[in-house]
Amino acid sequence: MLYEILLVSYLVVALMLIGFVLIQQGKGADMGASFGAGGSNTVFGSSGSGNFMTRTTAVLASLFFFISLMIGSMSVNKEEAVDGFQNIDIPIEQVMPVERVIPSDIPSSESVPASPEDTPEAASDIPN
């Protein structure tokens, strides 16, 4: 029961995390940043205290990581279900080998001509 609840919450947190990451505006997205107005920022930009979107994304990422670890630890220790039919010994029927029967009225490969010209009737029909 707990495993299913964790899977559902994992899916919800993952979808919310994707949504919050896609909604956020990038640091270089404003018009002034392309003309050098953001030059006072450091290499990675000044983050400040962070707004609601940044904090929510951090909380969702932490939840995603924690739930992933919980599901992983529960999956490792989970025993595999044994199928009840695996322990039944079903005897395999023994099949009698089929004997290869060659009827005597089938001509052997030595008596069959390779081409129609090799037959005596065909040789007499060929004009010289």
Q: Where are the domains of the chain?
A: 50-75
Tens-place pLDDT, residues 46-102: 555 568 888 999 999 999 999 999 999 988 866 666 666 666 666 667 666 667 766
What are the structure tokens assigned to 110, written together? 């030595």
For the purposes of burial, counting CB atoms within 10 Å of the CB of 13, is it exposed (0-12), middle (13-18) or buried (19 or more)? buried
pTM (2 d.p.): 0.48
